[in-house]
Structure 1
Amino acid sequence: MATTGTSSTPSATSTTPRTVLITGTSSGIGLAAAVGAARAGWRTIATLRDTGRADALRKAAAEAGVELDIRRLDVVDEDSAAAAVEGVIADYGRLDAVVNNAGAGHVGTLENETVADVRKVMEVNFFGVLNVSKAAMPHLRASGGRLITVTSVGGVVGQPFNEAYCAAKFAVEGYMESLAPVARALGVSVCVVEPGAVASEFVNNLGIDLEEYIAAAGPYSDALRNYVNRTVPQFLPGAQTPAEAAEPILDALTADRPAFRIQTSEWARGFTGTKLRDLDGSAVQALTTDWIS
């Protein structure tokens, strides 16, 4: 039976520890969140599309002295998401939280990419979130649990050459913002976590040669080069670490009443605040225009 009237997670006991499923744990924020949750006493199901890429995850868990249950979950495959969730229920009997972290970066602009390219971005970053969330919701209702989704400051502020990526993250934020009061009425807390630049493999995982991409961008080449020169250094060492970005996720797992929208750094709070105060859009347009000029 679904629980109602509470937004707190159930207390763990020696026989029924709290169980969290986290997607996209091969590296970065997902890996740090999985290790951090296990360290905090959660039974942690760390999922990734290709379990052959779990070496870094296993190493981090071993170094932290924690155990992870590593499983395959391809978020774009509805059947894979459903099977992963049902496997957790079959093995552990409960699911107290889900962290939707899996996603993929993308650089491009409308004239230089196909609509099919945009659909692929939406499949991973938006529909993938829905696949996992839909499979999990009945069990989160049963536990009075948490649905936490890692979005991005790009889910609040549209950014040059990130049209498809930001569109997907905007969609996630709009969906979850709309779902939150409905889920809350049935005992499930919903929130989004918005990182800024994180020192991770995000840029490398774009899967493109940036120099070749710039050279092939035609009339957009100069603006794209300016954007890349400004943006890529943001992800280098000196940026927020994955562990730092994961801390607000871990806090949201246990807070009595987590905020709906959570930024992972002061920079992210300032950046998203620019948009949320910008009623006519002029402040954001001035800011992002400067990135490509």
Structure 2
Amino acid sequence: MTEPQAATDAVARTIDRHGRLDALINNAGSGRLGTIENETVDDVRAVMEVNFFGVVALTRAALPLLRGSTGRLITVSSVGGAIGQPFNEAYCAAKFAVEGFMESLAPVAATAGVSVTVVEPGAVTSSFVANVGRDLNQSGLANDPYAAALEAYLARAASSFGSAQSARSAGEIVAALLDGDRPPFRVQTSEAARRFVAVKLADLDGGVVQRMTATWLA
């Protein structure tokens, strides 16, 4: 995901094997849990490389072939691409970037017959949590001014993943986007995700989101 040539090679292998490309699903990504005062700029760059620039590189490589097949470009974002979440600054920044990129690309791609969709899952039972850089049951560092807030956040996060949507269920939503009528630009994979994203889309001054996420740290 961090090597542009690998994206080009992946598309070339697909053409060698199948002769065409009808859809691209950008699904690979990784989380990062932390706050900028305790991280480095390189940590943030690494998250952006995987979650944003990897998507950009593969999309660029695939678009000429998707134009040829009037295909579909589907990118798995996150509810974190709509609502910034405490201790997920780098991850949410990358997903916000993905959504801005795709929202801007969508009308342009449509003129060439390619549909663009972003998929916004909430908590899903997958290996994602193992890749966030921190055990959800681990509290903050000693003398960390954010330790109490982080502990509260981790408790909430552990609870939300305890009732997460199954990976199969989320995957079925993504697979369904490949069939039938052209899908909408934005799709959530569960009712919980729809309710969550709806908070942001109706929150013009950001106050509702800020009050909501502040309760996660109390």
TM-score class, shorter-chain normalisation, is over 0.9
In the alignment, the residues of structure 2 paired with residue 133 and residue 148 of structure 1 have an alpha-carbon distance, to the nearest angstrom, of 10
Q: How far off is 1:91 after superposition?
A: 1.9
Secondary structure of the residue aligned to 1:233 is: helix
In the alignment, the residues of structure 1 paired with residue 36 and residue 118 of structure 2 have an alpha-carbon distance, to the nearest angstrom, of 27
Q: How far off is 1:164 after superposition?
A: 0.5
1:279 maps to 2:208: no
1:19-98 counterparts in 2 under 5 A?
A: 75-98=1-24
Report the TM-score, using the length of structure 1 for normalisation.
0.72
In the alignment, the residues of structure 2 paired with residue 202 and residue 84 of structure 1 have an alpha-carbon distance, to the nearest angstrom, of 23
Q: How far off is 1:87 after superposition?
A: 1.1
Secondary structure of the residue aligned to 2:165 is: coil
1:102 maps to 2:21: no
Report the TM-score, using the length of structure 2 for normalisation.
0.96
1:1-293 counterparts in 2 under 5 A?
A: 75-210=1-136, 214-216=140-142, 218-236=144-162, 238-293=163-218
Pair 1:158–1:96, CA change in 2 (3 A):
same
Q: How far off is 1:239 after superposition?
A: 1.6
Q: Is the 8 A contact 1:203 1:232 kept in 2?
A: no
In the alignment, the residues of structure 1 paired with residue 47 and residue 143 of structure 2 have an alpha-carbon distance, to the nearest angstrom, of 19
Q: Is the 8 A contact 1:196 1:268 kept in 2?
A: yes
Q: Is the 8 A contact 1:196 1:265 kept in 2?
A: yes
Deviations 1:175-216 (A, max 9, x none): 000000000000100000000001222212224345666124
Q: How far off is 1:241 after superposition?
A: 0.2
Q: Is the 8 A contact 1:98 1:148 kept in 2?
A: yes
Secondary structure of the residue aligned to 2:73 is: strand
Secondary structure of the residue aligned to 1:193 is: strand
Aligned CA RMSD, in angstroms, stands at 1.3
Q: Is the 8 A contact 2:150 2:217 kept in 1?
A: yes
Partner letter of residue 132 of structure 2? L
Q: Which 5+ residue runs of structure 1 have no aligned equivalent?
A: 1-74
In the alignment, the residues of structure 2 paired with residue 217 and residue 224 of structure 1 have an alpha-carbon distance, to the nearest angstrom, of 12
In the alignment, the residues of structure 1 paired with residue 135 and residue 156 of structure 2 have an alpha-carbon distance, to the nearest angstrom, of 17
In the alignment, the residues of structure 2 paired with residue 282 and residue 209 of structure 1 have an alpha-carbon distance, to the nearest angstrom, of 30
In the alignment, the residues of structure 1 paired with residue 165 and residue 88 of structure 2 have an alpha-carbon distance, to the nearest angstrom, of 21
Q: How far off is 1:217 after superposition?
A: 6.6
Q: How far off is 1:128 after superposition?
A: 0.6
In the alignment, the residues of structure 1 paired with residue 167 and residue 53 of structure 2 have an alpha-carbon distance, to the nearest angstrom, of 24
